[in-house]
Amino acid sequence: MIYVPYLGKPIRGEVLRVREQDFVDAAKVQGMSPLRIMFSEVLPNVASTIIVFIPMMLAYAILLEAYLSFLGAGVQPPNASWGSLISDGIQYIQTVPSYALIPGAMLVLTVLSINVVGDGIRDALDPRAQVRIKT
């Protein structure tokens, strides 16, 4: 619920942009209902934007959960979380630094890999953004 405004504003802007396109006007002239126009014309053109935001929101959710667990407000001790593992490892940072560094590194690698996958999906779904090299 926290990230809904961050997700909603760009998607709303994209829907407003697509709504003004000629193919939406052509669908209206053909007599399509507004609901059908939304699902057959607008949603497929906004889907790439929505799909790009999903990995970003997933990465934010993982970081938020780890942050809350690190502070002690997230997952409670019988269950494991990267934040709680890092918090427990901080006690042993002088003697065994790997107790804190390994969960931290795995958290960073997970978030970075989710972001890379999101960028790859964006590049695959948006052919206009690809730079073509002419030989």
pLDDT tens digits for range 85-108? 888 888 888 898 888 899 999 999
pLDDT of 8: 84
Question: Which amino acid belongs to residue 37?
Answer: I
Helix (H, G, I), strand (E, B) or coil at 73: coil
Q: How far is CA 60 from CA 15, 34, 50, 56, 88, in A?
A: 24, 34, 15, 6, 22
First CA to last CA distance, the chain? 48
**How far, in Å, CA of 11 to CA of 56, rounded?**
14
Total-model pTM? 0.72
Give the start-to-end residue ranges of the domains of the chain: 4-129
pLDDT of 108: 94
Residue 59 in tokens: 């990465």
Taking 70 as the pLDDT cut, the residues of the chain under it are 126-135
Q: pLDDT tens for residues 17-32?
A: 988 888 888 988 998 8
